[in-house]
């Protein structure tokens, strides 16, 4: 197989895989773990509610994101260290590694992980 070697194409492929994962049964099942019996009288059309596994905020399920608790790309790795099979296996991981969290918490966690990756990389070089 001719693997794309340039970073732009690799990142595009990673994004495409993440988008497929975002529509997967596994992700949906993980999201449903945080379904709660809740109704907001001011938002009667929203019937499915969920809570963030980090901060506990209650939000419509469609707004929740699914976090890979143990990150897809480990903190001391880069995308190019992984084969595509490994990337797929890490995305479609054990359901126990998937946690519904709100967008804000997901952003905060990813940012901290990326900062740590950069720190580790700068130490290596």
Is residue 64 at the binding interface for Zn ion, with CB under 5 A as the rule? no
Applying CB under 5 A, which part among 15-23, 32-40, 46-54, 74-82 lies near Zn ion?
46-54
Shortest gap between Cβ of 123 and Zn ion (angstroms)? 30
Pick between residue 21 and residue 51 the one whose CB is nearest to Zn ion.
Answer: 51
Measured from the CB atom, is 54 or 113 closer to Zn ion?
54
User: How many angstroms separate the CA atoms of 60 and 56, rounded?
Assistant: 13
Regarding 105 and contact with Zn ion (CB under 5 A), the answer is yes
**Between 87 and 101, CB nearer to Zn ion:** 101
Give the total of residues touching Zn ion (CB under 5 A).
5
Nearer to Zn ion, 55 or 96 (CB): 55
Query: Considering only residues 52, 72, 73, 98, which one is a binding residue for Zn ion as defined by CB under 5 A?
Result: 52
| DSSP result, the chain | -----SHHHHHHHHHHHHHHHHTSHHHHHHHHTTEE----TT-TT---EEE-TTT--EEEGGG-EEEESS-SS-TT--GGGS-HHHHHHHHT--GGGEEEE-HHHHHHHHHHHHHHHHHHHHHH-
Nearest distance from C-beta of residue 51 to Zn ion, angstroms:
9
């Amino acid at each position: 197989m001719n693997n794309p070697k340039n970073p732009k194409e690799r990142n595009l492929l990673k994004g495409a895989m993440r988008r497929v994962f975002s529509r997967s049964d596994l992700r949906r099942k993980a999201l449903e773990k945080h379904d709660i019996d809740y109704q907001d009288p001011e938002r009667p059309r929203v019937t499915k509610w969920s809570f963030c596994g980090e901060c506990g905020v209650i939000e419509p399920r469609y707004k929740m994101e699914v976090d890979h608790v143990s990150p897809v790309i480990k903190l001391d790795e880069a995308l190019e260290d992984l084969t595509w099979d490994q990337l797929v296996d890490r995305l479609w991981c054990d359901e126990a590694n998937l946690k519904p969290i709100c967008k804000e918490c997901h952003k905060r966690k990813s940012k901290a992980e990326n900062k740590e990756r950069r720190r580790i990389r700068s130490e290596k070089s």
